[in-house]
Amino acid sequence: MVSQEFLQELPKCEHHLHLEGTLEPDLLFVLAKRNKITLPDAFPKSIEELNVKYEKFRDLQDFLDYYYIGTNVLIKEQDFFDLAWAYFVKVHKQGLVHAEVFYDPQSHTSRDISIETVTKGFQRACDKAQAEFGITSKLIMCLLRHIEPEECLKTIEEATPFIKDGTISALGLDSAEAPFPPNLFVECYRKAASLNQDLRLTAHAGEEGSAQFVSDALDLLNVTRIDHGINSQHDDELLDRLARDQILLTVCPFSNVKLQVVKSVSELPLQKFLDKNVPFSLNSDDPAYFGGYILDNYIQVSKDFPHWDHETWGRIAKNAINGSWCDDKRKGDWL
């Protein structure tokens, strides 16, 4: 098994990280107090109680119910800055060099907080992370798939200035997967892509949904990356396609265990992906809820795949770099 020092030193890129999913229980209670937000009666009353709840979720929806309550404590631009900055402070000690991070504007605009407030707070933290730690980053705006597509089109309209000026680098799709297939969002993706030819497209698919959701995201939404994608393992033709077109799967080991998608990290089809030349990166998804940041995920995978040598890990790190949406000059810093 490779050493933890080796994994620490590997230049790591994160492609699947929800900024709202970095809200640690201590900051959640601090912000609730600062903003005078009353949490629901049934919500755990202390950091300790909340940590007990976070030990296991029944499924994706059980987690999302807590995640959306958490987002309610974020009100001011400074709150969004504080949240993202706390994330960068943690991961700069874990060998992270580049982060392409999701955020969910609709979980804030639904509470009358403007996209501008949210985006500016997060962007300010990204700028500071580059200045102080040399970590580059990109913002990916996600649409919540449980929200009506017509509403999502309005969100894209509100986000248009940030899509046009490149502050938002990419569009993603998250929240409850199984009831809301990719075909519902064709018009949203078409509209967003028409606003800026450099806008990148990705979508959560194949986390709880089937391999068909992955194919549909590629065919109907024109995405060039798939978030999670682990259910692609059940469709050999799809795996051939992912390998041929070098579509990056952003796999989230701790998340898949905590949301009971798999029983243990060793069940993940990572060896199959390597054997079939399907590129994947390792990511933390919602680290405050799932118990580990990026290096913790790398270490856990190294324990569950102990036969992987330095060369295999080098290949994984290179796939993550090559699958990033930064320019070749920046990639050259790490390759």
User: Which residue numbers are catalytic?
Assistant: 207
Please say which residue, 91 or 321, places its beta carbon nearer to ligand ADE. Answer: 91
Tokens of 297: 């995920």
174 is an interface residue for ligand ADE by CB under 6 A: yes
Distance of CA 123 to the CA centre of its chain: 16
Q: Does 285 appear as a known binding residue?
A: yes
Report the distance separating Cα 7 and Cα 1, nearest Å.
Answer: 11
Distances (CA, A) of 106 to 72, 151, 282: 12, 9, 26
> Rounded to 5 degrees, what are φ and ψ at 334?
-115, -20
Residue from 119, 155, 233, 255 touching ligand ADE (CB under 6 A): that is 255
Partner whose footprint covers residue 168, from ligand ADE, Zn ion, none (CB < 5 to 8 Å by kind)? none
100 is an interface residue for ligand ADE by CB under 6 A: no
Please say which residue, 64 or 152, places its beta carbon nearer to Zn ion. Answer: 64
Q: Does 146 appear as a known binding residue?
A: no
Partner whose footprint covers residue 117, from ligand ADE, Zn ion, none (CB < 5 to 8 Å by kind)? none
How does DSSP assign 62-100, residue by residue? Answer: HHHHHHHHHHTT--SHHHHHHHHHHHHHHHHTTTEEEEE
CB 138 within 8 Å of CB 158: no
Partner whose footprint covers residue 175, from Zn ion, ligand ADE, none (CB < 5 to 8 Å by kind)? ligand ADE
Please say which residue, 15 or 98, places its beta carbon nearer to Zn ion. Answer: 15
Residue from 7, 12, 21, 85 touching ligand ADE (CB under 6 A): that is 21
225-228 and 200-205 beta bridge pairing: parallel
285 is an interface residue for Zn ion by CB under 5 A: yes
Q: How far is the CB of 309 from ligand ADE (least distance, A)?
A: 30
Report the distance separating Cα 200 and Cα 222, nearest Å.
Answer: 10
Interface characters, 142-181, with Zn ion (x: CB under 5 A)? ----------------------------------------
Please say which residue, 77 or 286, places its beta carbon nearer to ligand ADE. Answer: 286
> Rounded to 5 degrees, what are φ and ψ at 176?
-55, 125
Q: Does 236 appear as a known binding residue?
A: no
Residue partners of 166: CB distance under 8 A and separation at least 6 = 196, 198
175 is an interface residue for ligand ADE by CB under 6 A: yes
Residue partners of 146: CB distance under 8 A and separation at least 6 = 175, 176, 179, 180
285 is an interface residue for ligand ADE by CB under 6 A: yes
Residue from 12, 18, 98, 225 touching ligand ADE (CB under 6 A): that is 18
Q: How far is the CB of 326 from ligand ADE (least distance, A)?
A: 23
Residue partners of 268: CB distance under 8 A and separation at least 6 = 230, 251, 253, 256, 262, 301, 304
CB 185 within 8 Å of CB 191: no
Q: Does 286 appear as a known binding residue?
A: yes
**Can you tell me whether residue 142 is helix, strand or coil?**
strand
Partner whose footprint covers residue 121, from Zn ion, ligand ADE, none (CB < 5 to 8 Å by kind)? none
71 is an interface residue for ligand ADE by CB under 6 A: no
| Closest to 242 measured CA to CA, from 274, 268, 265 | 274
Query: What residues form the annotated binding site for substrate?
Result: 286
Instruction: Please give the residue ranges that form the binding site for ligand ADE (CB under 6 A).
Output: 18, 21, 60, 67, 174-175, 204, 207, 255, 285-286
- Binding-site residues: 16, 18, 204, 285-286
> Residues annotated in the binding site for Zn(2+), as ranges?
16, 18, 204, 285
